Chains A and B, each alone.
Chain A
Amino acid sequence: MSLIRSSRGRDLRVDFFRGLALWWIYTDHIPGDVLGDYSLRNFAMCDATEVFVLLAGFGAGLAYGSVMDRQGYLYAAADTLRRIWTLYIAHIFLFVVYTAQVAYSAAALDRVFYLEETRLDVLADAPYRAMLEALLLRFQPNLLNILPLYVALLLMFVIALPLLRQPLLLFFTSFAGYLLVRVTGINMPAWTGEGWYFNPFAWQFLFMIGAILSYAPPKMPRVRWPIDVASVLILVAGIVVIWVIDTHPRILAAMPSPVIRFVITEDKTGLHPFRLLSILSLAWLTARSVPPDTDWLRSRFAAPLVLLGQNSLPVFCSGIFFGFIARLGLEARENAAMQIAVNLCGALAMVVVAGITAWYRGKGRAPAQRQPVTLPAIARTDTG
């Protein structure tokens, strides 16, 4: 039995890059991890979060869109809600595990700042209230803000599902929502006074773009080079900002003030247009250079990342847990051996988690496809 699902119609590119994003999320979040200096965020005005959300939208469009086509809106909406429930439960479980892990470490090592940095300190100030606020997703400790975003995005997707059949309408409605956020700054409320770290009303645009791209792929334009050029220019501009302007900010003084404002007020919370354009450019160039049937996606070398991408939820959750252990390791001893150890062990542990998840999902089902009529819907639904 193969742990990797590679049925026809499954786009392994999505799995591969999702796996890559999960691995980046792991390395990016470990303070002092050298690999964090070489992940996407060091080369583009976007990072693993954008990749993850775009591909989550892509997966949702594919999975629930096809359920809607075959069994109608009600079933598709029900499946999406079941998925939301799973994500929600996973988030609450992770919240408890992470809180226990960080709080125990903070006490054992006398490092109270762990609690401040992760924003778990408010838990001590008002524990009863904090429980309620965590359940309402209004209290999101640092690093535990991606799953609430995912939950909110899928909730909006339930409403948007019927619009998938009118992709232009969905696109412009979604775009209007994004514009509204950029202008007004409207956000989901958070307990601590400000809005969510990832504003779902802004990020839904990227998610819906992903859904549209998979459910109703627009025809490839006949003349593609202008988009190629624009994408390259946007990515180069991003590199200029990161490598030149961020390190020598005095250059900004020579620029006209609207440009300065646009460049320096780049925010992740509201998915700044520069970040949005960067991820779309990356997606375009990737789609152009990696066709769906690329051989290396099925190779042994791509397999670990594909496996991670196909089991994203357990991998993400365990990655947060392993990441904190890695941090403790690096704080105990920061040398090359420890760097190699935390990165290697972390990657291996996540692959093991993905492997176990895949085995559980596949057991009893393979090798014979006993119910080929109903299976594809389940097999293609993103349950990872």
Chain B
Amino acid sequence: MRRLASAFLLCAVFASPRPSLAATELSGTCGAPDEFVTADESLAQFGQAVTAGGVVNVLAVGSATTVGSVTAAGLNSAGEGGAFPWQMVRALHAAFPSVKFDLTIRGGRGMTAEDMLPLIDAALRQQHYALVLWQTGTVEAVRGLQPDGLLDVLHTGAAHIRDAGGDLVLIDPQFSRFLRANTDLDPYENVMQQVATMPGVVLFHRFELMRTWANDGRLDLERTVKADRDKALDELNACLGRALAHFVLSGADLLKK
């Protein structure tokens, strides 16, 4: 099944008629295949906000990897400025120096999507967000929570974000051999994929992208020795951030200027 999937991915990459969209301003997406850094649904709200210029508010909601306290018991540098949402904003700013991307981060370690929904609602009441990143699914999978529940919560959240005039990027769990072996990830992945069929919602396939990196021998957090782990984590966040920036800009149709 995994082989089937990779064969399919490979075909998709080679069959893609478009030339690589990698914009020069985005200093590389660490060899991420196009399909992972290209959004298939339009992010119209975000596109308009960037085109209009001025301040573009971005909200990132998630658990540990988003708020920036990943593994290594606080030893990593992924605090303020290190986690991938910060890296994405940095890459966006590099691509559009005249636009001020203002990032707000909500969430926390071990939070479920259900825990995050009130945080999103509260944030939306305070100001307009053109783009919302919602990283979730890991905690649900680890605890074996009902995929039903996740589906309903994500639907509700997506509707609220849409009503508030924003686009939503869902981000799935990060690649982990442990998760793959010990939790039943597929239902949660399918739920997120399903929610991403709503207008203005896209899914960033972090798990598969990181798996590609691991298989290519480019970046593999789980197989990095202790001494190099902080460095690898920084690199991962930087790569993910740039890949995400490429992803949202492609969705907003802002790459081919």
Contacts and interface: CB of A to CB of B under 8 A. Distances in A.
Contacts of A143: 182
Contacts of B147: 264-267
Contacts of B142: 117, 119, 142
Interface stretch (A92-100, A213-221, A247-255): A247-255
Nearest to A37: B2
A261 interface: yes
A331 B72 CA distance: 16
A261 B186 contact: no
A243 B197 CA distance: 21
Looking at chain B, what size class is its interface with the partner chain? 35 or more
A292 interface: no
Given A113-B71, A252-B194, A334-B223, A42 B1 contact: yes
Nearest to B3: A37
B191 interface: yes
- Chain B binding surface SS class: helix
A192 interface: yes
B186 A246 contact: yes
A253 B180 CA distance: 25
B145 A247 contact: no
A109 B71 CA distance: 13
A331 B144 contact: no
B14 interface: no
Looking at chain A, what size class is its interface with the partner chain? 35 or more
A245 B190 contact: yes
Contacts of A268: 144, 184
B144 A269 contact: yes
Contacts of B148: 261, 265, 267
Interface in A27-62: 28-33, 36-37, 42
Contacts of A334: 223
Given A260-B194, A265-B146, A268-B184, A110 B226 contact: yes
Interface string B143-185: 1111110010000000000000000000000001111111010
Nearest to A253: B197
Contact of B222 (A198, A266, A331): A331
A130 interface: no
Contacts of B194: 249, 252, 260, 264
A334 B142 CA distance: 24
Contacts of A260: 194
A192 B143 contact: yes
A270 interface: yes
B182 A31 contact: yes
B95 to A, nearest CB: 29
Contact of B151 (A111, A242, A247, A265): A265
Contacts of A252: 190, 193-194, 197
Contacts of A194: 143-145
A116 B64 CA distance: 11
A338 interface: no
Given A30-B181, A31-B182, A267 B71 contact: no
Contact of B176 (A31, A110, A243): A31
Interface string B51-73: 00000000000000000000111
Contact of A265 (B71, B73, B187, B223): B187
A266 B2 CA distance: 19
Given A242-B186, A249-B190, 9 more contacts: A28-B182, A31-B180, A113-B72, A117-B142, A243-B4, A265-B191, A266-B184, A266-B187, A267-B147
Interface of A: 28-33, 36-37, 42, 109-113, 116-117, 119, 142-143, 185, 192, 194, 197-198, 242-243, 245-250, 252-253, 260-261, 263-270, 331, 334
14 contacts: A31-B176, A32-B181, A33-B181, A110-B72, A111-B226, A113-B72, A117-B176, A252-B197, A264-B147, A264-B194, A265-B187, A265-B191, A266-B147, A266-B187
Pick the 5 closest A-B CB pairs, nearest first: A31-B177, A249-B193, A264-B190, A269-B144, A247-B5
